[in-house]
Amino acid sequence: MTSLLRRFCLRKRQEPFDISVFPTIGARLFPSTNRCEKRLVAGPQFFDLPERQALTAALQGSRSDPFIFLDLGANVGFYSLWVVAQARQSGQVVRVVAVEPDRETRRRLEFNISASGAEEDITVQACGIGAMSGRANMTCDARNRGANTIALTADDVAGSFEVVPLEELCRRNAIERIDALKIDIEGHDYAALEAFFASGMTELYPEMIIAEVGRKKGTPPLIRLCNENGYKLLKRTQLNAILTRSRTQAESNG
């Protein structure tokens, strides 16, 4: 029914669409070029609901002040803005770092942040996340900007952008702990997390990780990687895995 309603809303109407997607959160949507923006045109209450519920539970159950959320592959910001919306409702303070290397997608992200009055809550970083520092170019998907991919390159050529490891991102933003992390960087997720865990900086290990793992049955390599580093699977959704850090593992690392 939601799909039919969405199709009706989009029929013969020119974009963009300016709507309220979450409480206190406004967004400008370009549904023809981005699947996640299309999903918000109608039925925003269904958008990645288990993932958003997990973030809400993590926020409400946290004593951190501020609650720190890293959104790696932020797209146009719906995860980041959801955390801000929930913090406003509960009266908590949040600090969000939203990483988005694609110029046009980042422009939309920054507009949505401004439209939601969240400039003080969200810092946008114009880089990619990878296993090591370097440069990359963007390969764009004209129908779904969320499926844009990056290709590593050794040269600082026109249009290229910086790629940094997760621990370097934390250093640059003076982050000493991570309460929750969402990672969706189109094929580079495993390598980035593997390098991060190998760095030995256990004090930075997130309390919760939301990671894209795909639809295949069985246990994906990324889930196994997280299991090996002290995480347990809380829930698997259509595309993502929600993992929480083992209490015993967290306590053993201080």
Domain count for the chain: 1
Rg, Å, the chain Cα set:
18
Q: Is 176 within the bounds of a domain?
A: yes
Q: Is 15 within the bounds of a domain?
A: no
DSSP strands (E only) in 23-160: 25-29, 67-72, 94-99, 122-125, 128-129, 134-139, 149-153
Containing domain of residue 241, as a range? Answer: 48-128+166-252
Q: How confident is the model at residue 92 (pLDDT cuts 50, 70, 90)?
A: very high
Q: Is 96 within the bounds of a domain?
A: yes
CATH of the domain at 66: 3.40.50.150
How does pLDDT run across 145-170, given as a tens digit for each residue?
A: 767 777 766 666 656 889 999 999 99
Q: Is 149 within the bounds of a domain?
A: no
Say if residues 241 and 213 touch (Cβ distance below 8 Å). Answer: yes
Q: Is 184 within the bounds of a domain?
A: yes
| pTM for this entry | 0.89
Q: Is 220 within the bounds of a domain?
A: yes
- What distance in Å separates the CA atoms of residue 36 and residue 46, rounded to the nearest whole number? 12
- Residue 229, pLDDT > 90, answer yes
**Backbone phi and psi for residue 69, each to the nearest 5 degrees, phi listed first:** -125, 125
- What distance in Å separates the CA atoms of residue 140 and residue 218, rounded to the nearest whole number? 30
Give the pLDDT confidence score for residue 246 in this predicted structure: 82
How does pLDDT run across 170-212, given as a tens digit for each residue?
A: 999 999 999 999 999 977 899 999 999 999 999 999 999 999 9
Q: Is 147 within the bounds of a domain?
A: no
